[in-house]
Amino acid sequence: MKFRFIADHADTWPVRTTCRVLGVSASGTTPGGTGPTAPAPMPTVWL
């Protein structure tokens, strides 16, 4: 939700300022506005 808000209001407020106010990382925003992607899951290794 936060990343969508940031993308929707990027023309109104600076992205870095909005991220700081919302408490999220500015590096997590993407040009496509989809927000950060989850890391790939680690494969399960049975020992």
Residue 36 contacts residue 2 (beta carbons within 8 Å): no
Q: Which one has a higher pLDDT value, 14 or 28?
A: 14
Q: What is the mean pLDDT of residues 13-21?
A: 89
Residue 1 contacts residue 31 (beta carbons within 8 Å): no
Q: What is the mean pLDDT of residues 6-30?
A: 85
Give the per-residue pLDDT at 9: 87
| Residue 13 one-letter amino acid | W
pLDDT at 27 over 80: no
Q: Where are the domains of the chain?
A: 1-33
pLDDT at 6 over 70: yes
